[in-house]
Amino acid sequence: MWIERKYSTEYSDCPARGLRLKFYDGFDPENRRKLTDFCNFLRKAYFFPIRVYVCMVNVEKFRSPDDGHKYFGIFYDNGDCKRKTYPRICVAAHFESDAQFFDVCYTIVHELTHYFQWYFLEDDKRSDRSLEIEANRWADYLTGEYFAK
């Protein structure tokens, strides 16, 4: 599902490509460095054919205004926007321990998998459950690769 760098020339139809990070206020410089290092690990191995912004918000979790449920990350394809905008991921990226850092990285990969599912139009063809299972498998795999080193 993710596009390895060696295949990047086959997917270079959009002039704005890559993974971009945006940090909102309140990040400890060391935590910011850790998140940047993790995303650099992803950038070195994988190609992002349409620019995607990952917005790191220094909160433990988000709360849905609709029903109050809590979540840690969300992918917006921005397809409903009237102006040209790129996909965006928001991640609750507050952490104080290595275990919490692992969880934030897991969320980043999970949501980036939704980005690739959107890019390959899988989100229109498959059930939500199937998409979530695949996102969790990629998150297990890539966080396992990163933390094993």
Q: Where are the alpha helices (DSSP H) in the chain?
A: 29-45, 98-119, 128-148
| pLDDT over 70 percentage in the chain | 97
Does the pLDDT of residue 76 top 60, yes or no? yes
pLDDT digits (tens, 9 = 90+) for 102-115: 999 999 999 999 99
Handedness of CA 7, 36, 1, 62 (dihedral sign): negative
Q: Give me the DSSP letters along 71-94.
A: ESEEEE--TT-SS----EEEEE--
Q: Are 3 and 47 in contact (CB under 8 A)?
A: yes
CA angle 132, 114, 64 (to 5 degrees): 75
Residue 55, class by beta-carbon neighbours within 10 Å (0-12 exposed, 13-18 middle, 19+ buried)?
Answer: middle
Main-chain phi, psi angles of 71, to 5 degrees: -150, 160
Does the pLDDT of residue 95 top 60, yes or no? yes
pTM: 0.94
Cα–Cα distance for residue pair 113/130, rounded to 1 Å: 12
Average predicted confidence (pLDDT) for the chain? 93
